[in-house]
Amino acid sequence: MLNIFSFLKSAVTIMIPIFFASAGGLFPALAGTLNIALEGLLLAGAFSSLTVFYFTGSIAAAVISAILTAAALSALHAFAAFKLRANLFISGLAINLLSSGLCVVLSDRIFNTKGVVAAGIIPDSAELLWLYVIIGLFLLSASWLVIYKTPFGYRLRACDKNSEALVSLGISPKFYQIAAILISGFFCGIGGSFLSLNLGAFVSGISAGKGWIALAVIFFGMRKPFGIFAASLVFALAETFSNYAQGFWNFPVDFLLAFPYICTLFVMIIVSVISIEG
């Protein structure tokens, strides 16, 4: 018998990292510099927060550490792309690979294991869930205000639509594009911290493709803050359904596990068709 409250709680738990990653990725997308390093930023945030929580037992310190770590990697990405003129997508892929490898190396150095790193103390899952939901809703509203009601938001969106107008006014589009990438690191750090703190452990690959799904969510949500919130929930419900379906239906397990990614691919095709026709 399906427990609807348990189902929705699982969906929200899955949604949180996807939402934070897509909310962060929204800013570079609006600035015309899609950040494909979201997966690596989530992973780095997850490892950093778990490590700090392991030694301090403080959730606040763990979240701050995750934000700083993801922001530092975002700064490295921005430096490579805008200062060293590296290809933006190659630089993003490099951050994903660097984060994946670095987490394993540091895990081996600090905890003497390349496998599961347990925090020792597991935070209360219900309280943690509500905390991140409240933070998410606050940042969602703040993002909407910044994007649509401030000069920063106007100029950010102009970077993609009319960067020549900014240049003619003596405003550097590059400044806003770099700021957007740093903002994405801030959001991904929070999302990554939830992954490990909610589990009470860090495992290699804990992000499980959520950064890539977040890229699809950005466009599925029509590049709008409340749109990506709804899209994140849709993808989370799809993944929750695939998890629950394994105990109810006789479908092949591999198909059920792939179901969220099939939805991602399907949505990306639909959005691309709509964009071409528009």
- Other CB atoms within 10 Å distance of the CB of residue 122: 14
Does a structural domain hold residue 230?
Answer: no
Only one residue has tokens 């899209």, namely 231
Closest CA to 99 of 118, 119, 72: 72
Q: Rounded to an integer, what distance in angstroms lies between the CA atom of residue 119 and that of residue 47?
A: 11
Kindly report each contact of residues 171-178 with a partner whose C-beta sits within 8 Å and lies 24 or more positions away, as own/partner. Answer: 173/31, 174/82, 176/31, 176/152, 177/28, 177/31, 177/32, 177/33, 177/78, 177/82, 178/78, 178/82
Number of domains in the chain: 1
Q: What is the mean pLDDT of each run of 10 residues along the chain (278 residues)?
A: 78 94 95 92 95 92 96 96 91 94 91 84 83 95 95 92 83 92 96 93 89 89 90 86 67 64 69 62
Does a structural domain hold residue 22?
Answer: yes
Q: Rounded to an integer, what distance in angstroms lies between the CA atom of residue 261 and that of residue 50?
A: 27
Q: Rounded to an integer, what distance in angstroms lies between the CA atom of residue 48 and that of residue 26?
A: 23
Cβ atoms of 223 and 26 within 8 Å: the answer is yes
Does a structural domain hold residue 166?
Answer: yes
Does a structural domain hold residue 84?
Answer: yes
Does a structural domain hold residue 224?
Answer: no
Predicted local distance difference test score (pLDDT) of residue 254: 64
Does a structural domain hold residue 233?
Answer: no
Cα-trace Rg, the chain: 19
Which residue range is the domain that position 191 belongs to?
4-212
- How much is the pTM? 0.89
Predicted local distance difference test score (pLDDT) of residue 249: 60
Does a structural domain hold residue 231?
Answer: no
Does a structural domain hold residue 269?
Answer: no
Predicted local distance difference test score (pLDDT) of residue 18: 95
Predicted local distance difference test score (pLDDT) of residue 3: 73
Predicted local distance difference test score (pLDDT) of residue 151: 93
Predicted local distance difference test score (pLDDT) of residue 36: 93
